[in-house]
Structures are given as C-alpha cells and as structure tokens.
Amino acid sequence: MPDLLKRFGAPFLIAFAILMTIATMVGDRHTVEEGGRDLPWWQGLVLEVTTPIERIVSAPIDGVTGFFSEYVDLLGVRAENRRLRRRIAEIESENLQFREALVTSGHLARVASMRDEIEIPMLPAEVVGLDVAPWFRSVLVDRGTRHGVQSGQPVVTHDGVVGLVTATSGHAAKIMLLLDRQSSVDALVQRSRARGAVRGIGRDRLEFEFVVRGSDVVVGDEVVTSGLGGVFPKGLRIGRVSELREAGGRLTQIAVIEPAVDLGQLEQVFVLLRRGPTMDLLYHSNRPDEDLDEPIGPADVAPRAAPAAEPDSRAAGTAAESGPALAAARDPS
C-alpha cells in the first residue's frame, strides 16, 4: 500500500479531489432543492477537507490576478496622468494668452488715451536692440527714414518720455535715452512750477539740476516737460522726485528723479513725427533758406556782359576846351 501511494499518490489525490468536488456540487444541488437542510456527514467531511486546499490553491491565483489588475489600473492611471498633464499645459497656455491679451488691451487703452492727449502724429516702433554701456544709454528700433523718422524727433511711451532720435537709417533708428549722460531736457515741477533741467547720469536715475535753492520742491513731486526749446511737447511725464540734495558750492540744489518709464524694459515706443525749431536748427533741415542748397547750374555762373558806356557831354566839352590850350602851350610862337 505505501508503495502504491508513492507511485500513484499525486494522481490519486487529484482524482479524489475531483470526485469530492463533484459530490459536493451534487449535494449542494439537492440541498438547494430540498430547502436548505443541514449537510450530510460525508458532505461536511468533504467541505472540511477541501476548504484548506482551496485556500492554498486560490492564494497564488488571487495574487496573480490582483497583480495584473493593479498593473492594468496603473497603466490607466499613467494614461490619465499624461492626459491631465496635457490639459494642464493647454490651460496654462490659454491663461498666458489671456493675460497677454489683458496686458495688450490695457496697453492699447493707454495708447489711445495718449493719442488723445498728444495732438501730434505718432509712429509705433518695436525695440530691437539695447546698448547699456556705462556712459551711453540707447536703444535701436525697427523704424527709420522710410517710415518718416528723423534725427531730433522725441520718443515717448504711454508712461512718459523715453528719449530722442539721434541717428537713422532707412529701416532703423537709434534713440538716446533720458538716462544717457548727454541727455538734457528742460522741465518743471508740476505742482509748484519750479523749473530746471533734467540730465542723465548713466544709471537708472535722473538728476533735476538748476533748481534755485529754496524752490518749492519736495519728495514725491511729479516732474514734466516744460515745452521750452520746442523739442518735447509740454506736460509729458519725466518722473517723480525721490531725493533732494544740496549742490556743494553752488546756488542750486539737485533733485534725484525716478523715471516714469521703465527704460530697462522697453518693448514698444512711439516716435513723435515732428521736430521743434531747436532741432531743425541743430540738424539743418526744413530751413527757410533750403533753396540755397540746390545745385547751381552753368546758366547761373555764366559771365554777364558789361553795360555799354554812355558818352559824357561834360567830359567831351572839357576835352574840347582843353585841346587848343594844350596846343598853344606846345607852340611857343
């Protein structure tokens, strides 16, 4: 018997388990048909024997099934994660476009207001280059003489004064910023009308010089263009007084000004398409005697004929009278 169990133990157990399973199924059917009575002793015995076996067999199956189920769920989560990431990127892009549209809308509104205040034709230009050398502060824009830009024209934004056009080509122009050390603008304090000159110092601040000592200037005052010199229209914002200090050894004081325009973040500017009389004299254009610069032709330099000499009767008479006298003087007889 032990030898038979060794040789046929596994098939025997399998066959026994199958038979017990079939018997259990048949018994369960009868039990259901008879109204759920207690199990017979042999079915109870089979149930007691097969339950641990089923638990042992089902454990790895449940583990594998759970693993694949979790793997499938993980794949779904990853796909959902990728979809959500794409949607977030789309929303961020839409949000950025919306914010840019708001900025543009506000910018256009300020530009429209500026056009109403400044009754001078203006040309928009985009900043395409920046020069931040310590002594010279300038930018390049994408508009030039072919668009009506000329040296000496003022440049502004909706926030205030930017600078002055100093050089041009057909499709570009160089603008000297207010911060440049060569820049100087006649200005006044909007509140008290105290006058002076705003000069660049090469950094991100301006100096309001030639303010007479004792003038009514305080920190926080707005400084605007005075309109003198005919370069900038009157009333354009230059900046706000941030500091007052004495100019040693002089009868003036200096006010440090924070520019109204962020000159380090320029994107778009507006060129005022006009030049004042000061700039016209400086750049020698649009002068009243402009026709003098026209080339002179050969007809203009041809020699003119001398006017015919008219006979002088008095000279003729004098010569006639002196003729006999000269003859008598020569003839001693």
Please say whether the beta carbons of 241 and 220 come within 8 A.
yes
Fold classified for 123-283:
Thrombin, subunit H (2.40.10)
Q: What is the pLDDT of residues 22-46, one digit of tens each?
A: 766 666 555 545 555 566 666 666 6
The residues spanned by each domain of the chain are 123-283
The model's confidence at residue 257, banded by pLDDT at 50, 70 and 90, is: very high
Show the tokens assigned to 65. 């099934």
pLDDT at position 153 over 80 = yes
* Predicted local confidence at residue 140, as pLDDT: 95
* Predicted local confidence at residue 81, as pLDDT: 85
Name the pTM for this structure. 0.54
Q: What is the pLDDT of residues 92-122, one digit of tens each?
A: 877 877 777 766 666 666 666 666 666 788 8
Q: Which pairs with CB-CB distance under 8 Å and at least 24 residues apart come from 129-138?
A: 130/266, 134/202, 135/181, 135/202, 136/176, 136/180, 136/181, 136/182, 137/176, 137/177, 137/179, 137/180, 137/200, 137/202, 137/263, 138/163, 138/166, 138/174, 138/175, 138/176, 138/177, 138/180
Q: What is the pLDDT of residues 270-320, one digit of tens each?
A: 999 887 665 555 555 444 433 333 333 333 333 334 444 444 444 444 444
Count helices and strands (H / E) in the chain.
5, 12
Residue 226: CB atoms within 10 Å:
21
Residue indicated by tokens 């979790």: 70
